[in-house]
Amino acid sequence: MSHLLDNIVWHALSGPQKRFSVGADDIRRFAPGFSPILGFANLERPNFNAIASFCEPAEHFYCGDWSGPVPGGWQIEEESTVLRMVWDAPLPASDDVSDAIQLGLQHAAQALELATLTRPGPFGLRTIELGEYFGFFESERMIAMGGERLHAGLLREISGVCTHPDFRGRGFARRLMNKLIRRQMQRNETPFLHVMRDNTTAHALYHRMGFRPYRETVVRVISRV
């Protein structure tokens, strides 16, 4: 499991989620419309030449676990670190989330709108196709959501967890995460997630829930020049 977590994006894009990706034998990206993320077979020397034709100059891509020199034709837009955390606790107690709706293609535009507002991480119109997503609604307005993104081996990422600013503090995110964790564990999968270095509030919440730190790693946003 640990070797998968050390380069989880590549193992997802070259493995169970290859059908959602495009690229070459040693470098891939989620296809346009999904989360703009790049994965590298070789983290020391990514083969950027092989992916350039699959990327538009205006596109921005998130890259994790790679801290080497930037090749010609590319530039770093942002750089920080992210904490990768893995579930290390018993099955969460059952919580009544019967009012959470499983998201489908008809919810994609609302999901993207909420993610654009709250910025839980790289998100695209088709991201909800990568796993199970659930949301809370007030009338027909989506006010919170959470779901699954990367998947490799028995590891399944919890991602896209966000709540509209007008509805925060009501426990929607925690309830959605517990639902996802329970469903994953009942499939014999191990939940994991990513949280930005500076988001200390989320660090504390995830620790209390049962996640433990696995590693802190660099994360970059890059684009073609």
- Last residue within a domain, chosen from 76, 93, 112: 76
Return averaged pLDDT per consecutive 10 residues of the chain, 225 residues in all. Answer: 89 98 98 97 95 92 94 94 96 82 97 96 97 95 97 97 95 93 96 92 91 96 93
Looking at residue 94, its pLDDT comes to 78
223 lies in some domain: no
pTM reported for the whole predicted model: 0.94
Among candidates 156, 1, 134, 127, which has minimal Cα distance to 62? Answer: 127
Rounded CA gap, 24 and 157, in Å? 24
Whether 113 and 174 share a structural domain = yes
221 lies in some domain: no
Identity of the amino acid at 175: R
* Overall domain count for the chain: 2
Looking at residue 62, its pLDDT comes to 97
Looking at residue 1, its pLDDT comes to 63
Looking at residue 99, its pLDDT comes to 87
The boundaries of the domain holding residue 39 are 2-76
| CATH code: domain of residue 184 | 3.40.630.30
Beta-strand pair 37-40/60-64: parallel
